[in-house]
A and B are shown apart, each in its own frame.
Chain A
């Protein structure tokens, strides 16, 4: 047994060939992204609050203060009080440095980034395509039907290759491999998401739409406030299935040379040559852990949202 191979290469499994000296820059980038995300969520909450009452469970005022004021404050404090003094160079340059070295990032970090962006993109594209599929208007319905049928009829690996070779033809220059695969992932998964969305909407009793329209809500309003909130909850298990698939399928990005977990592991394996079993067992466990976190989170989400179904009539 050569488990020391894993131990010696653990950093490669985690971040691939990313230069270790730039790691703090990467961390900083993550912090900036989180701050941006929180700021946006806060903004959304504010808008929501003054407008509509459709969110039923609201954070308590205390939670809200902590979450939406405290967190950004804390992060800003961290930035100016801890990070700035630690860094000789200006912080924004440091962040930029991390972006500059992005194409050298690999390992499980890259796999997670690919999966997360893929899931995010596929959800929104799939939602739009699924809603278009539901529409009575032909200009929406038929293109989305064609999209779903075509995409579901081809293997993912072919889509990856296809975009890899298509992008230079369309753009006149090579697109980074990372983006090519991400586009392929989003397009591939969104077709399945669209079908889930359609089925989820159709499975709701028609009385819901009628009650909503009957009180004067517009079609869009009844979709946004009555149909989708219910349908999306019912769709969670199917979504998670799809997202778990996608997470594992990110390993296919390795065939055009995107350095993610699978490729990183392969590189380690070829460098060491003594421990293939250990190397591939390790990444198997890593993939499993990511997928398990996904399913566990979704189960929790489902339980939270199932409150209102407490008693069925």
Chain B
């Protein structure tokens, strides 16, 4: 399993950037969504998280950027511990970009406004600087000519690409993708996955929850299989898919392929 040493010795990756240890999350209704779950992610690594519905994948990502409070365990991102300190919490939210299944663009703002907002409010950029960054990012995700559109005027794939640009605008150190393509029509899934694969190639650290095994094989470095809030198995992409060690993993992979 990757730790400080393996991160440093792997030529593809840098130091440890995400450290989650013994995460436990019990919801008010008694559901144990995370059960002593640990994961270490190296800089520049792309970790694909898979698992059956209800296994706690979303909960894990939401805990990582503080949208859910953990009941036990420790989260350290780029040396900052996610604890009760409001300052740390906000710092981590700023450093961790999140892309949701349902896009969650702000419908009352144009594409430009959506991406400018946090840059100006959180990073304190002037409108001009923010717009420069925004336009560069929109160019990257192929949405530059739609900067003045409202979200409702865009297709799902376009909205999701804007959402990715919005997260990137904060120059995050880690990007979290929670089933970013699950709500999309099949023909536009590719355009979003393409943007994600580009990001991976550029060396962005990514934790990706997805059912797209093609993407996992192409862009992923490591696959993590979760069930009942715990890790069943993890390993580098090729061996994981070709020869999963666990019987549970085998049946799951057979089901989804």
Contacts and interface: CB of A to CB of B under 8 A. Distances in A.
A212 B170 CA distance: 12
Interface of B: 65, 67, 90, 93-94, 96-98, 100, 102, 104-110, 113, 116-118, 120-122, 127, 130, 150-153, 156, 159, 163, 166-167, 169-170
Contacts of A307: 150
Interface stretch (A26-34, A129-137, A221-229, A252-260): A221-229
B65 A225 contact: no
A54 B118 contact: no
A21 interface: no
Interface stretch (A203-211, A262-270, A282-290): A203-211
A230 interface: yes
Nearest to A226: B106
B122 A216 contact: yes
B153 A310 contact: yes
Contact of A207 (B100, B153, B156): B100
SS of A interface (majority)? helix
A215 interface: yes
B108 A52 contact: no
B109 A54 contact: yes
A311 B154 CA distance: 9
B108 A215 contact: no
Interface string A33-71: 000000000000000000011101000000000000000
A7 interface: no
Interface in A179-218: 205, 207-208, 210-218
Given A211-B100, A214-B65, A310 B117 contact: no
A218 B116 contact: no
A313 interface: yes
B90 A216 contact: yes
Contacts of A207: 100, 102, 104
B118 A210 contact: no
B152 A311 contact: yes
14 contacts: A53-B117, A53-B130, A54-B109, A54-B117, A205-B102, A210-B104, A213-B93, A215-B94, A216-B93, A221-B121, A230-B106, A310-B152, A311-B152, A313-B159
A140 to B, nearest CB: 18
